[in-house]
């Protein structure tokens, strides 16, 4: 029997749209626009540049002036193109442009909210968990997210990882045989050059006790042009490589982001997303479900949904923990388990990630457990009789 194969548009064409090209860069060639170096060189860093893109509010203008020395603004043309020029509450704009709320430092805010410095056996390596470390390799990012948990380091030239720090970090990892997993982070790990990244990966892969490494980057979201064919070809030599990225809203899921993820997946990388729960941006179950469905189509696993850290100047982004539990409850059972991330609080002061789940247990009496499912219907389960 002959089967008729129908020609259909791909998922990419049906579900994802390219980023618009703002008038400000109408004369840029496609070659420039798609070049990650050009994108970094043309980042929006001044209020005058910003005014050519959006209608800047008085509050945004004041926030820029008062926050600039503490935490720079830098937005790639690609990511800036996703902003709504007329809506200060645009989810992309809120993550990019300073707001008056970030000038407020809440009493509970911490300069080092996750206690990373206290668990550093050598500068640049945080060793908190038994078998894995975070390796701080750069202080740079393509874009400076306003909800950043590492404001103390990002955009601070004094925090740059020099050659000695890099070598001392690699030496510590090499001599500490209990380590099997290395998170290569920053800043943004992909702010490093291809040569520097390959040097780090080659050194780690040469260590017998290192089984996997993870590259932490938001470039898939803010600078997908960074994912070049040459970069992906290099990664193939060092598999398994895990990529941990940070999509927060469906608007960030463009054709360009889709293509960047496809290149990495085709190169053998496993991509995980670490969404941060942000008030007014993604604190809605419908938005999170839409985001996670798009991520799965992009071959990205929704891995974590983080409760906002107690970083300085980001209290306006934090939601009640009850909101996160509400979102997980609205996902569990109503969509596939693949689209339900782990909801975690990264405990202040260095306590590590603590998972939070809604309570589905109604009662427990000896061998008898009573549960309710996602629809609220009760079911009884009996444990085996151990006598």
Cβ neighbour number for residue 16 with a 10 Å cutoff: 18
pLDDT band (50, 70, 90) for residue 270: very high
d(CA 182, CA 180): 7
Of the two residues 117 and 129, the one the predictor is more confident about is: 129
Tell me the pLDDT tens digit for each residue of 198-255.
Answer: 999 999 999 999 999 999 999 999 999 999 999 999 999 999 999 999 999 999 999 9
* 90 has pLDDT over 70: yes
pLDDT of residue 157: 65
B/e letters for 338-360, b = 16+ CB within 10 Å, e = fewer, are: ebbbebbbbbbebeeeeeeeeee
Give the angle 377-383-386 at the CA atoms, nearest 5°.
170
Positions marked active-site: 128-129, 132, 141, 145, 148, 150, 309, 346, 353
Of the two residues 154 and 121, the one the predictor is more confident about is: 121
pLDDT band (50, 70, 90) for residue 108: confident
Tell me the pLDDT tens digit for each residue of 183-210.
Answer: 999 889 999 999 999 999 999 999 999 9
pLDDT of residue 155: 58
Tell me the pLDDT tens digit for each residue of 141-187.
Answer: 999 999 998 876 675 666 678 899 999 999 999 999 999 999 999 88
Cβ neighbour number for residue 181 with a 10 Å cutoff: 14
pLDDT band (50, 70, 90) for residue 355: very high
pLDDT of residue 207: 98
Give the angle 97-99-101 at the CA atoms, nearest 5°.
150
Tell me what the mean pLDDT of segment 84-91 comes to: 97
Q: Is 72 within 8 Å of 153 (Cβ atoms)?
A: no
Tell me the pLDDT tens digit for each residue of 44-87.
Answer: 999 999 999 999 999 999 999 998 877 889 999 999 999 999 99
pLDDT band (50, 70, 90) for residue 135: very high
pLDDT of residue 159: 67
d(CA 281, CA 312): 19
* 7 has pLDDT over 70: no
Q: Is 87 within 8 Å of 115 (Cβ atoms)?
A: no
pLDDT of residue 33: 97
Q: Does domain 117-355 have CATH number 3.20.20.70?
A: yes
Gap between the terminal Cα atoms of the chain = 60
Instruction: Spell out the domain ranges in the chain.
Output: 117-355, 359-387
- Sign of the dihedral defined by the CA atoms of residues 256, 142, 263, 24, in that order: positive
pLDDT of residue 296: 98
Beta bridge mates, 354: 345
Tell me the pLDDT tens digit for each residue of 294-347.
Answer: 999 999 999 999 999 988 899 999 999 999 999 999 999 999 999 999 999 998
pLDDT of residue 8: 64
What is the average pLDDT score of the chain?
Answer: 94
CA 222 to chain centre: 10
């Amino acid at each position: 029997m002959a089967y008729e194969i129908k020609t259909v548009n791909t998922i990419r064409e049906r579900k994802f749209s390219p980023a618009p090209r703002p008038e400000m860069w109408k004369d840029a060639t496609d070659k420039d626009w798609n070049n990650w170096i050009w994108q970094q060189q043309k980042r929006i860093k001044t209020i005058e540049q910003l005014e050519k893109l959006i209608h800047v509010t008085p509050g945004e203008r004041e926030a820029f002036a008062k926050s600039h020395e503490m935490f720079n603004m830098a937005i790639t043309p690609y990511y800036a193109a996703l902003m709504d020029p007329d809506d200060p509450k645009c989810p992309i704009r809120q993550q990019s442009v300073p707001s008056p709320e970030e000038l407020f430092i809440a009493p509970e805010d911490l300069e080092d909210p996750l206690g990373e410095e206290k668990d550093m056996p050598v500068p640049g390596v945080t060793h908190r968990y038994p078998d894995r470390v975070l390796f701080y390799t750069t202080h740079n990012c393509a874009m400076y997210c306003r909800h950043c948990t590492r404001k103390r380091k990002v955009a601070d030239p004094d925090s740059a990882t020099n050659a000695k720090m890099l070598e001392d970090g690699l030496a510590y990892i090499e001599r500490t045989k209990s380590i099997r997993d290395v998170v290569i982070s920053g800043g943004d790990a992909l702010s490093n050059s291809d040569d520097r990244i390959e040097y780090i990966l080659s050194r780690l892969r040469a260590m017998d006790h290192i089984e996997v490494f993870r590259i932490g980057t938001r470039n898939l979201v803010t600078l997908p042009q960074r994912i070049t064919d040459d970069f992906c070809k290099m990664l193939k030599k060092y598999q398994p490589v895990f990529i941990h990225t940070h999509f927060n809203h469906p608007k960030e899921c463009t054709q360009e982001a889709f293509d960047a993820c496809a290149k990495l997946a085709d190169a053998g990388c496993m991509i995980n997303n670490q969404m941060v729960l942000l008030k007014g941006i993604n604190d809605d179950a419908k938005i999170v479900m839409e985001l996670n469905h798009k991520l799965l189509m992009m071959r990205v696993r929704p891995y974590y949904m983080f409760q906002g850290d107690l970083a300085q100047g980001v209290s306006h982004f934090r939601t009640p923990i009850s909101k996160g539990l509400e979102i997980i409850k609205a996902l569990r059972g109503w969509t596939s388990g693949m689209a339900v991330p782990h909801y975690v609080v990264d405990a202040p002061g260095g306590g590590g990630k603590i998972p939070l789940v809604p309570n589905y247990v109604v009662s427990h009496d000896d061998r008898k457990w009573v549960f309710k499912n996602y629809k609220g219907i009760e079911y009884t389960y009996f444990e085996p009789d151990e006598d």
